[in-house]
Amino acid sequence: MGEIAKLELDGKVYEFPVIEGTENEKAIDISSLRSATGYITLDLGYKNTGATKSAITYLDGELGILKYRGYSIEDLASKATFIEVAYLLIYGNLPSQEELDNFTSSITKHTLVHEDMKQFFEAYPSKAHPMGVLASMVCSLSTFYPEALDPNRDSESVDITIHRLLAKLPTLAAWSYKNSIRHPFMYPKNEFDYCKNFMYMMFAMPTEDYKIDPVVTEAMNTLLILHADHEQNCSTSTVRMVGSAQTNLYASISAGISALWGPLHGGANQAVLEMLQKIHEDGGDVDKWILKAKDKNDSFRLMGFGHRVYKNFDPRATIIKKACDDVLQKLNINDPLLAIALKLEKVALEDEYFKARSLYPNVDFYSGIIYRALGIPTEMFTVMFAIGRLPGWIAQWKEMRENGDPIGRPRQIFTGETDRKYVEINKR
Ligand code: SDX
């Protein structure tokens, strides 16, 4: 008999089982709470609530540990390719050479987007934010493949949907950018690897040969790996919630893209760059902006700082910060925003307000500076996050479906009016 948690309510003692994960995390299983006691729990923002059991990603916020399927993020970011990591997250193991070759060739075969979808792009205003375009386009993919919509169907049709999404998201992302600058769309090239293909579709022109510095594609590979999954974050929980209704994978991922867009979540990388630019244009007075971030009457927050889980450091930020230095040095870029970011970080880490609240740089704090160095436009930063997070969303959706998790339906505490009678007004 495992550990038991006891709860005393209205003079009665109730017992609930304690469950323990493989990394020794513990939870009180309250599945029987309401039927046994009539009570529910209330936990705004689910800060203390586990929504599922998962074998995909483990993170320890106190120790700054992040592992995908048991492999440390440091190991994967320095040795693996993003496609290998995508396979690992989705199918549970690193692929053999044959599995990797088959996975890669299947993805390569599906990078094209149905020609009819090009008209969708042309209907958007040039100032359309690419996250809005991407969320719509991904959901629209479901209308082109009706035969592969049922998530309960054979694994082959789920697999082909997975490969189509991994293959087409970079194409849709690059075309949303090309459309915003009214440049001609570049079609994917089968001889290019995942990262080079994306950069080609983003920046090549039909009138000239495209050359890309391997430093750029290597940095992109690292960034995509660092963003690939992060257990039950806001957008992943959204994908799981939508998928729990047996909604198809395209629509579930589209919902995840919408959730990621928020500036408190994946939209923070764009917000960090805009914040650094604002501080730079304001004369670079870092102390003034730190004061604003601490002022409760000021809505300004230090974007890229703080995390719901990491309370010491975000291991991804550590890796990205080093990659940032490397890329700027190799590309011989002297970015004044990096100097401001380093100064902001130094001042904040020594400031009692930030230390008392365990606020440290997160994954978004330095990523925008690298994306800028790679030539990615600011409005595409969160799209880069979505491309990286796609395999994680897919893996979590697949696990939720395979585990047969029930449809998500939280409870509430009602605080509204209780008993009001309808009074007829003298309608004219
Ligand atoms: C991502 O969950 C994930 O795993 C997400 C992610 C992933 O990979 O999927 O890691 C990606 O979303 C990273 C986070 C990107 N967001 C930002 O950088 C936006 C800025 N940070 C915050 O808004 C905030 O820190 C959150 C949203 C990240 C976390 O918010 P919490 O856990 O709900 O914490 P909170 O808002 O309750 O803040 C606690 C205190 C508050 O002060 P007090 O009320 O205690 O006085 O800290 C303060 C907040 O005001 N605070 C900040 C701050 N973040 C929190 N004060 C100034 N600047 C900040 N950035």
> Which residue among 352, 362, 363, 387 is best mutated to probe the pocket of ligand 1, counting the most ligand atoms within 8 A of its Cβ?
362
6 phi, psi to nearest 5 deg:
-110, 140
Q: Smallest Cα–Cα separation from 362: which of 307, 401, 412, 411?
A: 307
Q: Smallest Cα–Cα separation from 91: which of 257, 304, 83, 311?
A: 83
Mean residue pLDDT of the chain comes to 95
| Per-residue confidence (pLDDT) for residue 427, from 0 to 100 | 79
Q: Is residue 196 part of a domain?
A: yes
| Per-residue confidence (pLDDT) for residue 189, from 0 to 100 | 96
- Would the CB of 304 count as within 6 Å of ligand 1? yes
Sheet holding 26-28, edge to edge: 4-9, 12-20, 26-28
Q: How far is the CA of 19 from the centre of ligand 1 (A)?
A: 28
- Would the CB of 355 count as within 6 Å of ligand 1? no
| Residue corresponding to tokens 């997250």 | 89
> Which residue among 73, 299, 359, 366 is best mutated to probe the pocket of ligand 1, counting the most ligand atoms within 8 A of its Cβ?
359
Q: How far is the CA of 64 from the centre of ligand 1 (A)?
A: 16
- Which atom belonging to ligand 1 lies closest to the Cα atom of 236? 9
CA-closest residue to ligand 1 atom 30: 308
On the 0-12 / 13-18 / 19+ scale of CB atoms within 10 A, 152 is exposed
Q: Has residue 60 got a pLDDT over 90?
A: yes
- Would the CB of 303 count as within 6 Å of ligand 1? yes
Give the CATH number for residue 238: 1.10.580.10
Q: Smallest Cα–Cα separation from 74: which of 323, 309, 310?
A: 323
What total of structural domains would you count in the chain?
3
- Looking at the DSSP bridge assignments, the partners of residue 16 are 5
Within this chain, do residues 273 and 315 fall inside the same structural domain, yes or no? Answer: yes
- Which atom belonging to ligand 1 lies closest to the Cα atom of 362? 13
Q: How far is the CA of 362 from the centre of ligand 1 (A)?
A: 9
351 is catalytic: no
Q: Has residue 94 got a pLDDT over 90?
A: yes
CA-closest residue to ligand 1 atom 24: 306
Q: Is residue 33 part of a domain?
A: yes
Q: Has residue 426 got a pLDDT over 90?
A: no
d(CA 99, CA 84): 10
- Would the CB of 16 count as within 6 Å of ligand 1? no
Tell me: the pLDDT tens digits for 96-107? 999 999 999 999
Within this chain, do residues 114 and 198 fall inside the same structural domain, yes or no? Answer: yes
Domain that holds residue 204: 73-261
Q: Is residue 281 part of a domain?
A: yes
Q: Is residue 66 part of a domain?
A: no
Within this chain, do residues 179 and 286 fall inside the same structural domain, yes or no? Answer: no
Q: How far is the CA of 407 from the centre of ligand 1 (A)?
A: 28
Within this chain, do residues 346 and 241 fall inside the same structural domain, yes or no? Answer: no
- How would you write the chain as a 3-class SS string? CCCEEEEEECCEEEEEEEEECCCCCEEECCCCHHHHHCCCCCCHHHCCCCCCCCCCEEEECCCCEEEECCEEHHHHHHHCCHHHHHHHHHHCCCCCHHHHHHHHHHHHHCCCCCCCHHHHHHHCCCCCCHHHHHHHHHHHHHHHCHHHCCCCCCHHHHHHHHHHHHHHHHHHHHHHHHHHCCCCCCCCCCCCCHHHHHHHHHHCCCCCCCCCCHHHHHHHHHHHHHCCCCCCCHHHHHHHHHHCCCCCHHHHHHHHHHHHCCCCCCCHHHHHHHHHHHHHHCCCCHHHHHHHHHCCCCCCCCCCECCCCCCCCCHHHHHHHHHHHHHHHHCCCCCHHHHHHHHHHHHHHHCHHHHHCCCCECHHHHHHHHHHHCCCCHHHHHHHHHHHHHHHHHHHHHHHHHCCCCCCCCCCCCCCCCCCCCCCCCCC
Within this chain, do residues 280 and 256 fall inside the same structural domain, yes or no? Answer: no
| Per-residue confidence (pLDDT) for residue 212, from 0 to 100 | 93
Within this chain, do residues 22 and 78 fall inside the same structural domain, yes or no? Answer: no
Contact call for residues 370 and 323 (beta carbons, < 8 A): yes
More confident site: 1 or 79: 79
Contact call for residues 147 and 157 (beta carbons, < 8 A): yes
Within this chain, do residues 331 and 242 fall inside the same structural domain, yes or no? Answer: no
Q: Is residue 38 part of a domain?
A: yes
Annotated active-site residue in 129, 230, 307, 314: 307
d(CA 57, CA 135): 25
Q: How far is the CA of 307 from the centre of ligand 1 (A)?
A: 5
Give the CATH number for residue 46: 2.20.28
Tell me: the pLDDT tens digits for 344-402? 999 988 999 999 999 999 999 999 999 999 999 999 999 999 999 999 999 999 999 99
- Would the CB of 233 count as within 6 Å of ligand 1? yes
- Which atom belonging to ligand 1 lies closest to the Cα atom of 227? 8
Read off the pLDDT band of 6 (50, 70, 90).
Answer: very high
- Would the CB of 268 count as within 6 Å of ligand 1? yes
Pairing state between β 4-9 and 12-20:
antiparallel
Give the chain's largest Cα–Cα span: 80
Give the CATH number for residue 367: 1.10.230.10
Q: Is residue 417 part of a domain?
A: no
| Per-residue confidence (pLDDT) for residue 289, from 0 to 100 | 94
Read off the pLDDT band of 150 (50, 70, 90).
Answer: confident
Which of 261, 277, 301 lies at the terminal end of a domain, its last residue? 261
Tell me: the pLDDT tens digits for 117-144? 999 998 999 889 999 999 999 999 999 9
d(CA 157, CA 159): 5
307 is catalytic: yes
Within this chain, do residues 254 and 194 fall inside the same structural domain, yes or no? Answer: yes
Within this chain, do residues 233 and 305 fall inside the same structural domain, yes or no? Answer: no
Within this chain, do residues 274 and 138 fall inside the same structural domain, yes or no? Answer: no
Q: Is residue 397 part of a domain?
A: no
CA-closest residue to ligand 1 atom 55: 306
pTM over 0.85: yes
- Would the CB of 357 count as within 6 Å of ligand 1? yes
Q: How far is the CA of 257 from the centre of ligand 1 (A)?
A: 19
Within this chain, do residues 286 and 179 fall inside the same structural domain, yes or no? Answer: no
- Would the CB of 203 count as within 6 Å of ligand 1? no
Within this chain, do residues 344 and 217 fall inside the same structural domain, yes or no? Answer: no
- Which atom belonging to ligand 1 lies closest to the Cα atom of 306? 25
- Would the CB of 275 count as within 6 Å of ligand 1? no
Which of 261, 288, 307 lies at the terminal end of a domain, its last residue? 261
Tell me: the pLDDT tens digits for 297-354? 999 999 999 999 998 889 999 999 999 999 999 999 998 998 999 999 999 889 999 9
Q: How far is the CA of 213 from the centre of ligand 1 (A)?
A: 35
Annotated active-site residue in 230, 364, 405, 419: 364
Q: How far is the CA of 357 from the centre of ligand 1 (A)?
A: 10
Q: Has residue 235 got a pLDDT over 80?
A: yes
Which of 236, 261, 286 lies at the terminal end of a domain, its last residue? 261
Percentage with pLDDT > 70 across the chain:
100
Q: Is residue 388 part of a domain?
A: no
Q: How far is the CA of 219 from the centre of ligand 1 (A)?
A: 26
Tell me: the pLDDT tens digits for 11-52? 999 999 999 999 999 999 999 999 999 999 999 999 999 999
